[in-house]
Amino acid sequence: MSKTIVVIPAYNEGVVIARVIENVRCVVPDFDILVVNDGSKDNTAREAAAAGAIVVSHSFNMGYGVTIQTAYKFAYAKGYDFLVQIDGDGQHDPAFIPELMRPVVAGDTDFVVGSRFLGVESYRPSFSRRLGILFFRKLVSSLIGRTISDPTSGYQAFNRDVMRFFTTDVFPCDYPDADMLITLNLAGFRIREIPVRMFANAAGKTMHSGFKPLYYMFKMCLSIVVTLLRNRQLYRR
Amino acid sequence: MPIKQQIFALVVSLLVFVFTIEMVRKKRLREEYSVLWLATSFTMFVLVIKYDWLVALTHIVGAELPTSTLFFGSIIFLILLAVQFSIKISKLSDQLKDLVQDNALMRHEFERLKKGSEQ
Task: Report the CATH number at residue A186.
Answer: 3.90.550.10
- Output the pLDDT for position A85: 97
Please list every residue in chain A whose beta carbon sits closer than 8 Å to the beta carbon of residue B97.
62, 66, 173
Taking residues A155-165, report their average pLDDT: 96
Poorest-pLDDT segment among A82-96, A126-140, B1-15: A126-140
Please list every residue in chain A whose beta carbon sits closer than 8 Å to the beta carbon of residue B103.
59
CB-neighbour burial class of residue A97 (10 A; exposed 0-12, middle 13-18, buried 19+): buried
H or E element in which residue A156 lies: strand A156-159
Q: Answer yes or no: is pLDDT of A197 > 50.
A: yes
pLDDT band at A131 (very low <50, low <70, confident <90, very high): confident
Q: Does B108 map to a domain?
A: no
- Of all residues in chain B, the one with the smallest CA distance to A171 is B94
Taking residues A66-87, report their average pLDDT: 97
Q: Answer yes or no: is pLDDT of A220 > 60.
A: yes
The C-alpha atoms of residue A149 and residue A117 are separated, in whole angstroms, by 6
Q: Among residues of chain A, what percentage have pLDDT more than 90?
A: 59
What's the complex ipTM? 0.83
Domains: count for chain A: 1
Answer whether B69's CB lies under 8 Å from B61's CB.
Answer: yes
Taking residues B64-79, report their average pLDDT: 89
CB-neighbour burial class of residue A126 (10 A; exposed 0-12, middle 13-18, buried 19+): exposed
Q: Does B106 map to a domain?
A: no
Domains: count for chain B: 1
Q: Does B92 map to a domain?
A: no
Answer whether A56's CB lies under 8 Å from A36's CB.
Answer: yes
Residue positions counted in chain B: 119
The C-alpha atoms of residue A120 and residue A109 are separated, in whole angstroms, by 21
Instruction: Please name the amino acid found at residue A184.
Output: L
Instruction: Please name the amino acid found at residue B95.
Output: Q
pTM of the model: 0.84
- Output the pLDDT for position A16: 94
Determine, for residues B104 and A55 on separate chains, whether the beta-carbon distance falls below 8 Å.
Answer: no
Q: Among residues of chain B, what percentage have pLDDT more than 70?
A: 100
The string of DSSP codes covering A186-226 is: HTT--EEEEE--B---SSS--TTTT--HHHHHHHHHHHHHH
Determine, for residues B97 and A173 on separate chains, whether the beta-carbon distance falls below 8 Å.
Answer: yes
Q: Answer yes or no: is pLDDT of A202 > 80.
A: no
Query: What's the maximum distance between 2 C-alpha atoms anywhere in chain B?
Result: 84
Nearest CB partner across the interface for B101, out of A60, A70, A169: A70
Q: Among residues of chain B, what percentage have pLDDT more than 90?
A: 67
Determine, for residues A169 and B105 on separate chains, whether the beta-carbon distance falls below 8 Å.
Answer: no
Chain A residues with a Cβ under 8 Å from any Cβ in chain B: 36, 54-60, 62, 66, 69-70, 73-74, 77, 169, 173
Determine, for residues A74 and B108 on separate chains, whether the beta-carbon distance falls below 8 Å.
Answer: yes
Q: Answer yes or no: is pLDDT of A72 > 90.
A: yes
Q: Answer yes or no: is pLDDT of B99 > 90.
A: yes
Average pLDDT, chain A: 89
Q: Does B56 map to a domain?
A: yes
Three-state DSSP at A35 gives strand
The C-alpha atoms of residue B108 and residue B106 are separated, in whole angstroms, by 5
**Residue A85: which domain range?**
4-235
Q: Does B105 map to a domain?
A: no
Answer whether A88's CB lies under 8 Å from A17's CB.
Answer: yes
Q: Does B95 map to a domain?
A: no
Average pLDDT, chain B: 91
The C-alpha atoms of residue A124 and residue B8 are separated, in whole angstroms, by 67
- Output the pLDDT for position A203: 59
Determine, for residues B97 and A62 on separate chains, whether the beta-carbon distance falls below 8 Å.
Answer: yes
Q: Does B11 map to a domain?
A: yes
pLDDT band at A19 (very low <50, low <70, confident <90, very high): very high
**Residue B33: which domain range?**
3-86
Q: Answer yes or no: is pLDDT of B114 > 80.
A: yes
